[in-house]
Structure 1
Amino acid sequence: MLRFVALALAVCFVSFPASLSGAEVDKPNVVFIYADDLGYGDVGCFGQKMIKTPHLDQMAKDGVKLTSFYAGCTVCRPSRLVLWTGKHLGHQPINDNKPYTMQPSDFTLAELMKQQGYATGGVGKWALGTPGSGGEPIYHGFDFWCGYLDQSNAHNYYPTYLWKCEGDQCQKIPLEGNVLMGDKNPQDRVAKLDSRVTYSHDVMTKEAFDFIRRNQDKPFLLHLHWTLPHANNQGGRVTGNGSEVPSYGRYKDKDWPEPEKGYAAMVTYLDSSVGELRALLNELDLEDKTLICFTSDNGPHKEGGHDVDFFDSNGPLRGFKRSVYEGGIRVPFIAVWPGQIPPGTESGMTFNAYDVMATYADLTGTTDLPQNDGLSFLPLLLGKKEIKPGLRLPNQRISYSSFNTWEAARLGKMKAVRRAPDQPCQLYDLEADIGETNDIAKDQPEIVEIMTNFMAEAKKKPNAP
């Protein structure tokens, strides 16, 4: 048993030789796409059979697919905070969706890239600072942001305005034709639903593409925090269900419940935007100079009438959004960078959203990161073979997540889950039981002890990289 633990630790505590740094390549552009509530099983190349995602599937063929990548959290706001700061949930002030404003001490990956001479932009859901709070993206490394600052507004796809932040201020930009909701008369409400004409996703996508055009002659970082396919629980434009989308498109004649037509249309709409992005980079001769990453902020939702089982949105995984079982936190991850990432590759090594900042640092040759929990997965993306065991501390490479009182940790193929610190650990062998159906904690007391001790230590100060 101890021999297994030693081997597992050797696999998980990985360090990469400095010679593998992406800084060998002259400051590539980075585009990072963060879908909202997209499940592990919602993408064709991750097993989806009913929803069409041809552009993401092609992206996987052209690049690499990571099959054991974990979101920062199982819900939105803390998941973004983990991504931005490179610290897991044990080192964050929140692990649920309660309000949080980004603090001056929260060093972000955008600040890192700005220090390296990058133009920094983003669109979509920010969720970590409303106007006047000091938490706006322009105070945390972004030259430009267009989208939603307040989390509660971010799930309305036909709002009356979005925020555009540039320089030292954020201003409202009105969305033509959209009107305020809230009518008590159902007929009036339907009339207003039909009258709203400006889809927020399209506005944010145009702003993102304009950012690329403006900065095509210099290195840039662009985060696309598109809100598809998150539900609007107040009712959508097409039928009043939560899947808010201009049309059902190819799914309009399917014999499916209305919310499922809408959900599928939202995922395919998102996929088409990925295709438009790659086409623009090709048009500007930037494809070979740009690393594109695609993933999701947490597992699939069960909101707005959508049933996670209808499309098997969590694939073979147990649980969904708001769960620390695999279905709530393991998400699809695809990366492409022509000429650098070997096409058609795949890896099951475990990485996390809190590793993204360290990966950016590796990409740019940065060596003076603040304390964080991350480890660069750039060598893995580039197909390097010199990955070797290192002497990282345990809380660097045991994957950690939490939500309210729930906690989860992964060590190699072993996954521990517990409801609260005073509750016993469940233990699952993900290699043999990816659906987490067979609790083997009683058979593996030494591993349970390692996981329990790690969870107790996980809330202490993070280690320097």
Structure 2
Amino acid sequence: MNIIYIMADDLGWGDLGCYGQEMVATPRLDQLASEGMRFTDHYAGNTVCRPSRLVLWTGQHTGHTAISSNAYYDFNRGETTVADLLWGVGYATGGCGKWSLGREGTPGHPNLKGFDDWFGYLDQGDAHNYYPTHLWHNSEKVPLEGNVLTGEKKHYGLVARDKVTYSHDVMVDWMLDWIREHSDEPFLFHAHFTIPHANNESGAATGDGMEVPSVGDYQQMDWPEPEKGFAAMVTRLDGDVGRLVDLLHRLGIAERTYLIFTSDNGPHQEGGHSHTFFDSNGPLRGLKRDLYDGGIRVPMIAWCPSRIAAGSVSEHISGFQDFLPTACEIAGVAVSDGTDGISYLPTLLGLKGEQEAHEFLYWRFKDKEAVRVGPWKGVRTSASSPLELYQIGIDLEEKKNISSEYPLVVRRLMALIDRAGGADPR
């Protein structure tokens, strides 16, 4: 079986039609959900991108990973990734988009972490710019025609003066070509696209960091320009997912391919875009950099025509750390004892009675911490703050702090935080 994992960047739980979005068009992702499974309670590894990706790659939560913030990190602890494990049993491994966990010449380069091929951005900061002068294919710089940077130091080399070649489009085309070339063998492919992350530097320079070649049909809307750009970016990504699905059908490999779509964390409020304009977090509280659910609960759609029941919805509580054991179970690979994840393959296959549940999920972002245990959610907004307690099942918006009403639950969740947190990573 093939596995394709698509990750959007800063896409909120409420940014897709199948999760309640009414202003931004996402017909192909909505169709994917109607043909597959939509998860209601899936969580990113963190509330910002680099540590969230580290959780995904290693199957460990942020109490055990090397970083819990966007501090620079390049796998210098020698961690094993899901790509390492699948490559070890003969899978072709490819990826595109934002890597962010190791530049050229470091131990974190994707070719040293299980990937035969990676095309895109190695550096996280470079990935802000949708019109860079080059991308990376493994260790080779690939020039992008016509793009010229302003050269101003205050822009950190991340703002283009001449915008000709849109990086996202180039990466999508490369992804489709790679899948064509490897369609006769089992493969793992990660597409970690940068849409709809803002170019923060361009936003600071111009007031609009939502870079996209055209806003298309949104031009007629009486919206601020950054909101037109945001909507156009999401709809563009939606269409590209549709192109991928169409290709899988044409190649005759749709029936043997698991496709997962998600986002690296909650919605942003950057580059002139406001997360409230499209209600990007839906009914959830918070956004990127928060550990309330709006910052960490993300959309997830799973699709495989021969394995996943069409139109199914799962309330299974899961997180990024679960992808490694899930992919390994699909590929028939043994998982080491070091993972914090639990395979959600039984849920994908409709075997609800066989699905193991988490005792708890844990997050740390700098000095913030959160834990979820079934219907209970605990949040600490700083190391010195008391634990806030919410009953997610009846208070999805995390409005009513009930810590004073349930002291025993607070004590239990604090014990789990102390157990999970360990030494404070960066």
The match for 1:147 among 97, 113, 120 is 120
Residues 299-336 of structure 1: CA deviation (Å, up to 9, x unaligned): 00000011111000000000000000000000000010
Partner of 1:76: 49
The match for 2:352 among 379, 382, 385 is 385
Amino acid at match of 1:174: P
**Are the equivalent residues in 2 in contact too, given 1:72–1:354 (CA < 8 A)?**
yes
Q: CA deviation at 1:423?
A: 2.4
Partner of 1:365: 332
Partner of 1:408: 370
Residues 227-261 of structure 1: CA deviation (Å, up to 9, x unaligned): 0000001227xx76110000001101100011100
**Matched residue of 1:151: which SS?**
coil
Aligned-pair identity (%): 51
Unaligned stretches of 5+ in structure 2?
none
The match for 2:253 among 286, 307, 313 is 286
Residues 323-358 of structure 1: CA deviation (Å, up to 9, x unaligned): 000000000000100021000000112100000001
Amino acid at match of 2:213: P
Q: CA deviation at 1:144?
A: 0.2
Q: CA deviation at 1:182?
A: 3.2
Amino acid at match of 1:150: D
The structure-2 alpha-carbon separation of the partners of 1:185 and 1:298, relative to structure 1 and needing over 3 Å to count, comes to closer
Partner of 1:16: none
**Are the equivalent residues in 1 in contact too, given 2:342–2:356 (CA < 8 A)?**
no
CA RMSD of aligned residues (A): 2.1
Partner of 2:62: 89
Whether 2:150 is the aligned partner of 1:177: answer no
**Are the equivalent residues in 2 in contact too, given 1:34–1:226 (CA < 8 A)?**
yes
Q: CA deviation at 1:369?
A: 2.3
Equivalent runs, 1:450-461 vs 2, <5 Å: 450-460=412-422
Residues 405-457 of structure 1: CA deviation (Å, up to 9, x unaligned): 11010011110001234421100011111000100011111111110000000
Residues 352-411 of structure 1: CA deviation (Å, up to 9, x unaligned): 000000101111222242511010001101111332668xxxxx5301111111101001
Amino acid at match of 1:36: D
The structure-2 alpha-carbon separation of the partners of 1:121 and 1:240, relative to structure 1 and needing over 3 Å to count, comes to same
**Matched residue of 2:421: which SS?**
coil
The match for 2:11 among 30, 33, 38 is 38
**Are the equivalent residues in 1 in contact too, given 2:47–2:265 (CA < 8 A)?**
yes
Q: Which range is displaced more, 290-299 or 104-113?
A: 104-113
Partner of 1:312: 279
Equivalent runs, 1:50-449 vs 2, <5 Å: 50-103=23-76, 105-165=78-138, 170-183=139-152, 193=161, 195-235=162-202, 241-387=208-354, 397-449=359-411
Residues 130-177 of structure 1: CA deviation (Å, up to 9, x unaligned): 111121000000000000001110010000000101xxxx01000001
Aligned-partner Cα distance in 2 for 1:125–1:304: 18
Aligned-partner Cα distance in 2 for 1:85–1:153: 24
The structure-2 alpha-carbon separation of the partners of 1:425 and 1:185, relative to structure 1 and needing over 3 Å to count, comes to closer
Unaligned stretches of 5+ in structure 1?
1-27, 391-395
Aligned-partner Cα distance in 2 for 1:185–1:449: 48
Q: How many residues align?
A: 421
Q: Which range is displaced more, 396-405 or 328-337?
A: 396-405
**Are the equivalent residues in 2 in contact too, given 1:324–1:408 (CA < 8 A)?**
yes
Amino acid at match of 1:439: N
Amino acid at match of 1:296: S
Larger radius of gyration, structure 1 or 2? 1
Amino acid at match of 1:334: I
Q: Which range is displaced more, 363-372 or 109-118?
A: 363-372
The structure-2 alpha-carbon separation of the partners of 1:52 and 1:139, relative to structure 1 and needing over 3 Å to count, comes to same
Q: CA deviation at 1:102?
A: 1.4
**Are the equivalent residues in 2 in contact too, given 1:361–1:369 (CA < 8 A)?**
no
**Are the equivalent residues in 2 in contact too, given 1:147–1:163 (CA < 8 A)?**
yes
The structure-2 alpha-carbon separation of the partners of 1:234 and 1:388, relative to structure 1 and needing over 3 Å to count, comes to closer
Q: CA deviation at 1:185?
A: 13
